[in-house]
Amino acid sequence: MKRKKFIRQLEKEGCVLLRHGSRHDLYQNPTTGKKQPIPRHTEIDDQLVKHIRKYLGLK
């Protein structure tokens, strides 16, 4: 999945950017309080996308 598309989905579902990093950006789901780094690659593996969404408490 393209990173930009994934970030748009996260933000649409309520996640917010906490900080930029050199290799990852840190996003948080305010409803659950969970934080997860998102890699800065242009393409993110589908299994990783699934894991990040599950950890953040998104469907």
What would the two tokens of residue 53 be?
């969404």
User: Model-level pTM?
Assistant: 0.92
Q: What's the CATH fold of domain 3-56?
A: Metal Transport, Frataxin; Chain A (3.30.920)
Instruction: Note the pLDDT tens digit of each residue in 17-34.
Output: 999 999 999 999 999 999
Query: What does the pLDDT average to over 3-26?
Result: 97
What pLDDT is stored for residue 37 in this prediction? 98
Alpha-carbon separation of residue 55 from 22, 23, 39, 41 (angstroms)? 22, 20, 15, 20
Residues near 18 by Cβ (< 8 Å), separated by ≥ 6? 26, 27, 28, 35
What pLDDT is stored for residue 28 in this prediction? 98
Query: What does the pLDDT average to over 34-56?
Result: 97
